[in-house]
Amino acid sequence: MSLSSQSNVAVGDQPVLAVAMVGHAFMGRAHGNAYRQANRFFDLPMRVVPAVVVGRDQVRAEAAAHKLGFLRATTDLAAVLADPAIHVIDVATPNDSHHAIAMAALAAKKHVLCEKPLAMTLAQAKEMQALAKKQKVRVGLWHNYRRAPAVALAAKMIARGDLGDVRQVRAVYLQDWLSDASVPASWRTNKKTCGSGAHGDLNAHLIDLTRALTGLEFDAVCGMQQTFTKVRPDGAGGTAKVDVDDAFCFLAKFKGGAIGTYEATRTAPGRKNHNCIEISGTAGSLRWNLERMNELEVFSFADAKDGQGFRTVMCMDGVHPYAANWWPDGHIVGYEHTFVHHVVDFVRALHSGEPFAPDFTDGVAVQAVIEAALQSVKSASWVKVMR
Ligand SMILES: NC(=O)c1ccc[n+]([C@@H]2O[C@H](COP(=O)([O-])OP(=O)(O)OC[C@H]3O[C@@H](n4cnc5c(N)ncnc54)[C@H](O)[C@@H]3O)[C@@H](O)[C@H]2O)c1
């Protein structure tokens, strides 16, 4: 089946939303799976069609399309952008290409789902935000952790006041894959291709989670960073300089008086994907950790004094966000489901005209914090977050 030149194809009585995905490795697999699963588990007003994989090598792109369930593959992005049968461009490539691909897609009036961090610089992010607004298309940024059921529940609890006023955020995103100095350099260790190391990669998620959960806006930040391994094998018998951080910590002041601490590292042995955020308010606290992603630890001063303590809520009962669409109570979900939920909410928002978050305005907000923290390392001082 080909969608080429069928711009308003419908399956049954459902309009089709045809997706072209640029990049087909780690995130390509996660996104591809989400496009395939969304209609199977959720009743959606549109049918998502994984239509085209766009790669740089035809043979590899075809193999990926076959494996990931897309209809076809190409290396010709321009032709895809000119095809009225394609509605969404998914940017699942390294950071240095987000701006160019997204800007071209927006110019072609396609909806865009872009991987994080949105761009290499705040200036680029603002251009993307402005063009998306001008073209009146819908955009999303793949901060998928917002859509873990436990995180969505945490956001609901904070919004209804369960924690009282939020005072402190402590967030860490810890990995260990660069602990070993013999791990080769890659686009993730080169400033030209990634912008920054653990900071833009992992702190970006923590910054987004903070904003999504608390509604707090960053006011000023003060950071420090370290590159423990400054030269790595280049994978071709030589060596490559590492010019981004292995570890990056920063302090944050929020508008309104709350404070936060952030740590992202790729050199914490034993920590594989420890994305953990704890939020303390005047009336209670909560803590979420990706490695136990269906659980939410909650403490409330409202509990009977002699029964107080952190309790663990298993967030996969039918009453919890997204849960009823999967399995019976307590039958847990995983990492990949966060991407499915992202697609589900994007399709619903697209169809209804309701807002979708995170969008490129959120991307600009995250990028502003990333950039201010990088500047604060350079100046060894607190830097105001400006956007
Ligand atoms: N949301 C998340 O949790 C999450 C997790 C991992 C990565 N990411 C982000 O996703 C993006 C991709 O990361 P990844 O881990 O999938 O990387 P990857 O190296 O596994 O895959 C990158 C893909 O992009 C292709 N590619 C590279 N440059 C290209 C170009 N100019 N045009 C077309 N294709 C190109 C590569 O061939 C490959 O298929 C990054 O921005 C990264 O920060 C997000």
Sequence ranges of the domains in the chain? 10-144, 148-332+358-384
| pTM of the predicted structure, to 2 decimals | 0.97
CA of 23 from ligand 1 middle (Å) equals 6
**pLDDT tens-digit map of 155-197:** 999 999 999 999 999 999 999 999 999 999 999 999 999 999 9
27 lines ligand 1 (CB under 6 A): yes
73 lines ligand 1 (CB under 6 A): no
Cβ–Cβ under 8 Å, residues 151 and 288: yes
- Name the fold adopted by 10-144: Rossmann fold (3.40.50)
The count of C-alpha atoms lying within 13 angstroms of the C-alpha of 281, restricted to the half-sphere facing its C-beta, is 24
142 lines ligand 1 (CB under 6 A): yes
Q: Which two tokens stand for residue 111?
A: 């909806």
What share of the chain in percent tops pLDDT 90?
96
Rounded to an integer, what distance in angstroms lies between the CA atom of residue 109 and that of residue 253? 38
Ligand 1 atom at shortest distance from the alpha carbon of 145: 3
Cβ–Cβ under 8 Å, residues 90 and 77: no
CA of 320 from ligand 1 middle (Å) equals 31
CA of 26 from ligand 1 middle (Å) equals 7
What pLDDT, on a 0 to 100 scale, did the predictor assign at position 123?
98
Rounded to an integer, what distance in angstroms lies between the CA atom of residue 187 and that of residue 117? 14
What pLDDT, on a 0 to 100 scale, did the predictor assign at position 8?
53
93 lines ligand 1 (CB under 6 A): yes
**Is there a common fold for 10-144 and 148-332+358-384?**
no
User: What type of residue is 102?
Assistant: A
**pLDDT tens-digit map of 273-301:** 999 999 999 999 999 999 999 999 999 99
CATH superfamily membership of 148-332+358-384: Dihydrodipicolinate Reductase; domain 2 (3.30.360.10)
CA of 325 from ligand 1 middle (Å) equals 29
77 lines ligand 1 (CB under 6 A): no
pLDDT at 9 over 90: no
